[in-house]
Homo-oligomer: A and B are copies of this chain.
Amino acid sequence: MQDLAKLEDLGKPRVVIVGGGFAGLELAKTLHDAPVQVVLIDKQNYHAFQPLLYQVATAGLGAPDIVSPFRKILNKQKNFYFRMAEVQSVDAEAQMVHTSIGLIKYDYLVIATGATTNYFGDEQMQHNATAIKCLEDAIELRNTVLSNFEKALQTNDNEQINSLLDFVIVGGGPTGVEVAGALSELRKHVFPYDYKEIDFKQMDIHLVQSGPVLLKGMSEEASAKSLEYLKEYGVQVWLNVRVKSYDGYTVTLSNGQTLITRTLIWAAGVKGAPIAGLKPEALLKGNRYQVDAYSRVTGYENIFALGDIAAMQLPDYPEGHPMVAQPALQQGQHLGKNLPRLLAGQPLEPFDYNDRGAMATIGRNHAVADVKLPGGKEYRTQGFFAWLMWTYVHVVSLVSFRNRFAVFLNWTWSYFSYDKGLRSIIGKTKDPLRVKVDEHSNEPELVAPLKE
């Protein structure tokens, strides 16, 4: 045990933020002049720009292009402290968080732990599927996709080859749609030149959506166009179909059909990532903390929750805000302005969400956008202009200038070269690089003949 003397010396109240996603980082920044110690805790030392994880997974961007170390982002902010640690639980009585590196006291606790992949209790699926929720996921998926093609060259067995070349994406939301589009671009513009020996007619991309439309929540036009674009790209879209099971090889669909793949990409849902130790009644379905209009967690005075992990049940949003970047950013900024008021004994402002609409990109020149204009009007567009808008918004939203510059250059390069250059297998891959055609034979097999 170490003494807290020095700690007391600091005097100022301590705001501990758990999680450096959009909400946590925005809050930390907004508090730059506040008379507090800002302590950010994250299990990574970097902020990852989640909306572009799928591009890392599909070789369009490198991992360094979409991450930025917290210390670099905020190294000019005097009242900012970072600790790289995993938070295990909260002791609200003692006002402490238990972490992988020890105890950390707080005066105000802000939970911004975001969301995690929701497999709805299907452990077999969780074990066999691949998600794209964090950077490690994205890197592993990229490596797995690339390794599949290397493996496909090891055999002449067509079912084996198809199991490696075919991809099944579950979930017709933005992530599912964007991954399906990106994979079809790799199939059309990149892989045929890398793998001349493979017949890419054998490569199938399936997108399975339980509901009747893609991009549920966006406009009819957006849903219809995204479907049209994906079909244009040769993606097999299954609407009103659910995935019943996946054993790592065979996918069983609710319509009785089966698909064969070694790579099922699960983009079918997320749930909050709560911390142990808080009152269970504060947790709503979907593992989100119930918060009031000031982001305060029900039942606590000095504990707040922001972003995906928070459900602020306002009349317009009875289930809380959508689990995307905008509410997280706005709630972070809002609390950043409210906390100083709280400290100064001034009345707090309730949160008011400014919905700017939604966008999704399917591929080069093909995107859909529903833009909310000031005054509540909505501007809907699809195609090239929507794609330009999507591109611009994502470049400028990146955290550091370095990232904006790198992504802009990568995209410009890819646009004109039709190339996706980040195809090196670096880091973790799902399976070892070996396909045994005859599982029973122990004698070494000849590698499949080269084809001209």
A interface, CB within 8 angstroms of B: 1-2, 4-7, 10, 37, 39, 44-46, 62-64, 67-69, 71-72, 75-76, 81, 83-85, 98-105, 135, 139, 146-147, 150, 153-154, 156, 193-197, 400, 402, 405-406, 409, 413, 419, 421-428, 433-435, 437, 441, 443-452
Contact = CB atoms under 8 A, between A and B. Distances in A.
A194 B84 CA distance: 13
A72 B98 CA distance: 48
Contacts of A421: 72, 400, 402
B10 A452 contact: yes
A194 B71 contact: yes
A46 B425 contact: yes
Nearest to A63: B426
Contacts of A103: 444-447
Given A2-B448, A72-B194, A75-B196, 18 more contacts: A2-B437, A7-B449, A37-B450, A45-B423, A45-B424, A63-B426, A64-B424, A67-B426, A68-B424, A71-B193, A72-B419, A72-B423, A76-B193, A84-B147, A101-B154, A101-B447, A139-B427, A426-B427
26 contacts: A2-B449, A5-B449, A6-B449, A10-B449, A10-B450, A44-B424, A45-B146, A45-B150, A46-B423, A46-B424, A46-B425, A63-B426, A64-B426, A68-B424, A69-B423, A72-B194, A72-B419, A72-B423, A75-B193, A75-B196, A76-B193, A83-B153, A84-B433, A85-B447, A99-B447, A101-B433
B44 A446 contact: no
B434 A101 contact: yes
Contacts of A135: 426
Q: How many copies does the complex hold?
A: 2
A427 B4 CA distance: 34
Report, nearest first, the 3 A-B pairs whose CB atoms are least far apart.
A6-B449, A62-B64, A46-B424
A447 B75 contact: no
A281 B285 CA distance: 71
Contacts of A98: 444
Given A71-B195, A153-B83, A6 B451 contact: yes
Nearest to A426: B63
Contact of A85 (B81, B433, B437): B433
A13 B426 CA distance: 33
Given A2-B156, A154-B102, A45 B447 contact: no
Given A67-B424, A153-B83, A433-B84, A446 B402 contact: no
Contacts of A435: 101
Contacts of A195: 71
A143 B135 CA distance: 15
Pick the most buried of A68, A101, A423, A428: most chain B CB atoms within 10 A of its CB: A101
A196 B6 CA distance: 16
Contacts of A71: 193-195, 423
Contacts of A446: 1-2, 4, 102-105
